[in-house]
Structure 1
Amino acid sequence: MNSYCLFGATGGCTNACLVHTLNAGFHATALARTPSKLLTIFKGNIADIHAIKDTLSNHDAGTTGTMQMSLRRPVTIDNQEICATATKNTIKALQEIYKAQPSTVLNKPSITVISTTDVSDVKEDVPFAFRILYHVVLADPHNDKKEMERLITENAGNGGSFRGSVIVRPSLLTGDQSVKGGQGWEKLRVGREDEPAVGYTVHRADVGQWIFEQVVKTGGKVRFG
């Protein structure tokens, strides 16, 4: 059975995904500032490479899995490069693990990150009424998301630190991580970068459940339709 490592699992979309992951009987490891008794969890910060290595290394030998980082933050965050920094640290931690344990290269993890709309250079994916909010007010944190995506893309696939990657770009997030708070993941309109499903808002619980259904349960092989 695949095992899963989650960063930022104490709230938001990732927490909702974690609930479904645990209920389905998957093995999960998380890195969080406040430890929980619900699962194997390490106390630490995403800026601490040693903590990341401990979290990533806590998998059964021979298994492959999907790491998920929930790094979305409001415009008022004090670290405007948190997503890019966390990604760089994760890549560095994996490289150190591969160097110290060469056999782990055969079982590289895939990675799933929660990004945002308005970071694509391919096609507009933000509704007209929200464009000032996204293009102007949220410009700085969105630049951080773009850098995160660039790092993920450059380090996924052959020769990279990750076996593969999934980048999720939800519309403006609402609600909390309560699994009962959304409308149900089946009702979500899902698109691709070249054909985005433009929408105004989406509930965190629905995003978390979609990631569980379409990424966790498939082992990282996303299914559409």
Structure 2
Amino acid sequence: MNTIAFFGATGGCTNACLAYTLLNGYNARALARTPSKLTALLLTQPGITQKIISNQLEVIEGDATDVESVKKTLIISTDSNNTCTPVSSIISGVGGTGIMSFTRETSCQNSKFRVPALPHIELDNPHITEQTTRALLAALEQIAARFSSFEEYRAVAPRVTVISTTGNLPGSKDVGFWFRPMYNVLLPIPHADKLQMEKLLDKEAELGGDGVLAGGLVVVRPSFLMGDHLIPAREGEKEGQRVGLKGVRVGTERDPAVGYTIPRALVGKWIFEEVIRHGGAQWVGEKVTITA
């Protein structure tokens, strides 16, 4: 059975994906600054028990910006020759905590102060996804260096899936028309961080089989996220914004699926079904837009 590594697993999309992963019998490893917070959140998911967590999930305490913590999460075991066995797949949904702000910092180099501005979302760390992406790539590079040849690493390199966002295409053409003003005013700071993450991954992915992303990269761009982390208690259940995968429309950067919102738990389910259960081969190299 494959082992899946999770980063940002206390976030709604990733927590739902982790819940589906555990409920379907997979083993998982998750990096968390506060393991008790992650465990408590998982125990609110329908069907998740302490026994499932104890048997199938290993939680590593640490920070996703720390290369050693990330590397520890990605390595399942090490043999006597210091050759390691990495996880088969990586799911990352790291993002900053959003804070509504009505001021902005001036661009003046000599004097920094804040002035009134239109309402917008600021992040507790506006570079968090960029920093965690750098740490992930550095950790994978160090793991690859432990193999006697890059061909050996390539054979077991994990597939990497990251959760990004719609709204970064020119003209926001992957966003519903009536949401475009809101995206432009409210979300430029978190979107800039996600875009920087994508640029770092794109640069590495260009190396193809000669890079640390030799296992393949999938970028998931959901439309505006709604709801919480909770998955439906029963398959096919509709409760509020919780709808099934049949209600999801999927596109790529070349032909995006344009919509307005999608439930967080549904994003997690799509990633589980398409990437974990079915391998995600058809989405490798794509920036996948999903909307409900």
Task: Give the alignment's TM-score, normalised by structure 1.
Answer: 0.91
2:146 is matched with: 100
1:142 aligns with 2:191: yes
Supply the distance in 2 between the matched residues of 1:59 and 1:16 (Cα, whole angstroms): 26
Other structure's SS at 1:167 match: strand
Residue 121 of structure 1: how far off its partner (Å): 4.2
Supply the distance in 2 between the matched residues of 1:201 and 1:50 (Cα, whole angstroms): 36
Aligned with 1:48 (options 66, 69, 82):
66
8 Å CA contact 1:9, 1:18 repeated in 2: yes
1:197 is matched with: 257
1:69-127 deviation line (CA, Å, top 9, x unaligned): 11244333121111111111100011112223445443111110000001124971111
8 Å CA contact 2:223, 2:261 repeated in 1: yes
Structure with more relative contact order (C-alpha pairs < 8 Å, separation 6 or more): 1
Residues 52 and 108 of structure 1: CA distance in aligned 2, closer, same or farther (over 3 Å): same
**Rg comparison, structure with higher value:** 2
1:36-58 deviation line (CA, Å, top 9, x unaligned): 36211101111111110100112
- Runs of 4+ off more than 4 Å: 59-64
1:69 is matched with: 92
Other structure's SS at 1:140 match: helix
1:1-25 deviation line (CA, Å, top 9, x unaligned): 3221000112310110111111111
The AA in structure 1 aligned to 2:90 is M
8 Å CA contact 1:2, 1:63 repeated in 2: no
1:1-225 → structure 2 map (5 Å cutoff): 1-35=1-35, 36=39, 38=53, 39-58=57-76, 65-73=88-96, 74=98, 75-102=121-148, 103-121=152-170, 124-156=173-205, 157-162=208-213, 163-180=215-232, 182-222=242-282
8 Å CA contact 2:9, 2:32 repeated in 1: yes
The AA in structure 2 aligned to 1:193 is E
1:138-186 deviation line (CA, Å, top 9, x unaligned): 1122111111111112223221111211111111101111011511122
Aligned residues: 224
Other structure's SS at 2:124 match: coil
8 Å CA contact 2:7, 2:32 repeated in 1: yes
5+ residue gaps, structure 1, are: none
Percent identity of equivalent pairs: 42
5+ residue gaps, structure 2, are: 40-49, 79-83, 99-120, 233-238
Other structure's SS at 1:169 match: strand
Residues 212 and 165 of structure 1: CA distance in aligned 2, closer, same or farther (over 3 Å): same
Supply the distance in 2 between the matched residues of 1:59 and 1:20 (Cα, whole angstroms): 24
Other structure's SS at 1:4 match: strand
Residue 213 of structure 1: how far off its partner (Å): 0.6
Residue 137 of structure 1: how far off its partner (Å): 2.2
8 Å CA contact 2:92, 2:161 repeated in 1: yes
Other structure's SS at 2:281 match: coil
Supply the distance in 2 between the matched residues of 1:128 and 1:42 (Cα, whole angstroms): 42
1:198-218 deviation line (CA, Å, top 9, x unaligned): 111110011100000111112
The AA in structure 1 aligned to 2:59 is I
Other structure's SS at 2:168 match: coil
Supply the distance in 2 between the matched residues of 1:123 and 1:117 (Cα, whole angstroms): 8
